[in-house]
Amino acid sequence: MLITVTGGSGSGKSEFAENLLLKLDGDEPGDRVYVATMEPFGEEAARRVKRHRRMRGGKGFETVECYRNLKGLSLPESVGKRPSVLLECMSNLAANELYGGADRFPDGEEALKLAAERAELEILSGVERLLGQAGRLIVVTNDVFSDGISYDASTERYLALLGAVNRRLAALSDIFVEVVCSIPLYLKGGPL
């Protein structure tokens, strides 16, 4: 089962996704894996990582950090049961795949276009591989498309990449839910 949870910054989407996974797991024994995609650099990133770790503390998650190359990730194995997985968050993974460090930063429009195409393929094949390893997969992503601001070519390419990935996730998902002010709005599938 694939569930995608989207929402704006501070919408409550992360807490909703964690609680939904716990609800779906019920009292079932087994593993919960939190795939963290935010590369912890700078004070702001460190604060966000600390906050998210505190939020999921005591909930039975094993954290696996994966900043790029999701398709290369092998989940921890459990006897007879595939783990429940929460991937947090797709917007960080998309940025990491597109820009991937100073040595890989695309230079020029054509290089940026090719990097975005490669990043989309990498991400989607990674989601499919992860889904094959998971009993259930919840992907958290961001809605960053509503501000109406014009951006530079690099940011526009990133937004196009994230939009393409989110569209594909919506198509693949059994449930697609947007969280607004901590209120879930089911856009595909229904409440569980």
pLDDT score for 103? 52
Q: Give the pLDDT of residue 27.
A: 67
Q: How far apart are CA 159 and CA 182, in angstroms?
A: 24
**pTM (global) more than 0.85:** yes
| Grouped pLDDT means (10 residues each) for the chain, 192 residues | 95 93 79 90 83 80 91 83 93 92 66 89 97 95 84 89 96 97 95 82
Q: Are 161 and 98 in contact (CB under 8 A)?
A: yes
Output the pLDDT for position 102: 46
> Helix (H, G, I), strand (E, B), or coil: what is residue 145?
coil
| Ramachandran quadrant class, 91 (left: phi over 0; alpha: psi -120 to 50; beta: rest) | alpha
Please report the pLDDT score of residue 52 as a whole number.
Answer: 77
Beta pairing class for 175-180 and 183-188: antiparallel
Q: Cα separations (Å) of 163 from 63, 97, 114, 144?
A: 26, 14, 16, 9
Instruction: Please name the residues in contact with 180: beta carbons below 8 A apart, sequence gap of 6 or more.
Output: 7, 8, 11
